[in-house]
Structure formats: C-alpha cells, structure tokens
Amino acid sequence: MDNSTNLGGQSFGQDDSSTTDPKNTTEDTSPANFQLGALFTEEIKITLPSSNLNYDEKYFIKLLAGSISLSRAEKKRIIDTIPKLRQEQIDELTRIFEEEKLKFSLLSNKHLPQLEKLAEQHYREWLDIEAEFAQIEKKNQDEAKADEIRKQLGL
C-alpha cells in the first residue's frame, strides 16, 4: 500500500524514491589544497618603499598580492605605509597572510570554484595596482630628469 500523499503534483511519503535521506548524503570534505598566490608565476613588479624593517620583501609582497581578504585599496595602503610600520606590525601582517593562505588551503573541494574566481579577480586587481605603481614610477623618473635638465640649464 502506498502511504504517500500527492499535493500539487509533488509526492510526499514513504514510497517517494526521489527523496534523499540526509543521513546518506556524502559531501566531499577533503581539502582543496587551494594555494593563494599561485597565479603569480612571474616576479611581482612592485618595489616596496625602503624601510628599516627586517623581513623578506619578496615573500611579503607575494603574500600581500595573493591575499583575497584585502581589497585593492587596502593592499595599496599597506604598501604606502610600510616605511611607517614597526617591526611587530610587519611580522603580524606576515603571520596573518600565512594564516589566511593556510586556512584557504584547508577548505573543502566544494569551495574550489568560488576560490578560483576570487583569486582570479584579486589577481587582475593586483595587475592594475602594478600598472598604477609603474605609471607613478615613470612620472617620478620623468620629473627627476626634467629637474636635472633644469639644473644643467641653470633654471
């Protein structure tokens, strides 16, 4: 005997084979091992401002560039403020970026498409930051050359 009830074309009850038992659903919870910063295969093209801090600048900038938790503006602000940071602050930022990288690598495979999308978005934003810094550097070089020419001309 069928103990199911039909309401509006949908069957509800014991004999409905399309209903899945939530206890039997298995979700792939294995870590995706997603690596933040993996899109940065070339050397980062931003030179960090000089400072008296003791840290690996190439490692730090790669962590910063690969972060998907910070906005473009926040990344630029960090770069701009490096000369004003204390050693404890740069160490803490490095620790936070490493922790972010680890936590995202431990997320399950079901998050992989979204992580890849975010990483691509942040990669494109970083390329924009690099282009902006390159324009500023070029402008500064042009101004320095113009100043040198003015000096030579006695202006």
Q: List Cα–Cα distances, 42 to 62, 75, 100, in angstroms.
A: 10, 19, 21
Query: Could you tell me if residue 105 is inside a domain?
Result: yes
Query: Could you tell me if residue 111 is inside a domain?
Result: yes
In the chain, the number of structural domains is 1
Q: Which domain holds residue 95?
A: 57-136
Query: Could you tell me if residue 154 is inside a domain?
Result: no
> pLDDT band for position 12 (50/70/90)?
very low
pLDDT digits (tens, 9 = 90+) for 95-128: 999 999 999 888 888 888 888 898 899 999 999 9
pLDDT at 94 > cutoff 90: yes
Flag the least confident range among 7-21, 23-37, 97-111, 129-143: 7-21
pLDDT at 65 > cutoff 60: yes
Write down the pTM of the prediction.
Answer: 0.71
Query: Could you tell me if residue 37 is inside a domain?
Result: no
Query: Could you tell me if residue 153 is inside a domain?
Result: no
